[in-house]
Amino acid sequence: MAVCVAVIAKENYPLYIRSAPTENELKFHYMVHTSLDVVDEKISAMGKALVDQRELYLGLLYPTEDYKVYGYVTNSKVKFVMVVDSSNTALRDNEIRSMFRKLHNSYTDVMCNPFYNPGDRIQSRAFDSMVTSMMIQVC
């Protein structure tokens, strides 16, 4: 379902980025990069309003390619960006939310690992396998 998953640090550099079909990786990287601007916009817009666990639904960034990009921001300003292929049935909101919750839990586990230095790229195998499980469901 998810075609590309990225974890972006507070300072807007990627901590983890992975795409499912390994061709056209650059296209996904670029998509994630452009979505960061929209994420920042939404964060500052919601600054004073009643803030909720924000979910960012952008719709189709590139109408020709039929992808949807979702975003999620944690309390520590770490952003998760997920690109899904919407050629199959549109995923329900709940499913996206649960995928982000799993991402958040795994990221928290990575943070709590005393051998992980905050700010490094994420190389945890557990995190990798969790992301793989989210991406494999297509076939």
Partner 1 sequence: MPLHTKKPRSPTSVSPGGSPGAILLGQTCLHQGPGQKTSLSVLEGMGFRVGQALGERLPQETLAFREELDVLKFLCKDLWVAVFQKQMDSLRTNHQGTYVLQDNSFPLLIRMASGPQYLEEAPKFLAFTCGLLRGTLSTLGIKSLVTASVASLPTCKFQVVIQKT
- What is the binding site for partner 1 (CB under 8 A)? 10, 48, 51-54, 73-77, 104-105, 107-108, 111-112, 114, 118
The nearest distance, CB 133 to partner 1, in angstroms, is 20
Nearest residue (CB) to partner 1, 21 versus 118:
118
The nearest distance, CB 76 to partner 1, in angstroms, is 5
The nearest distance, CB 55 to partner 1, in angstroms, is 12
CA distances (Å), origin 60, targets 50, 66, 70, 114, 120: 27, 6, 10, 39, 31
The 3-state DSSP class for residue 16 equals strand
CA distances (Å), origin 25, targets 5, 83, 86, 92, 111: 11, 12, 18, 26, 26
CA distances (Å), origin 74, targets 24, 27, 58, 77, 138: 28, 25, 18, 5, 27
Nearest residue (CB) to partner 1, 105 versus 133:
105
Length of the chain as a residue count: 139
The nearest distance, CB 45 to partner 1, in angstroms, is 13
The 3-state DSSP class for residue 86 equals coil
Nearest residue (CB) to partner 1, 85 versus 109:
109
Nearest residue (CB) to partner 1, 108 versus 133:
108
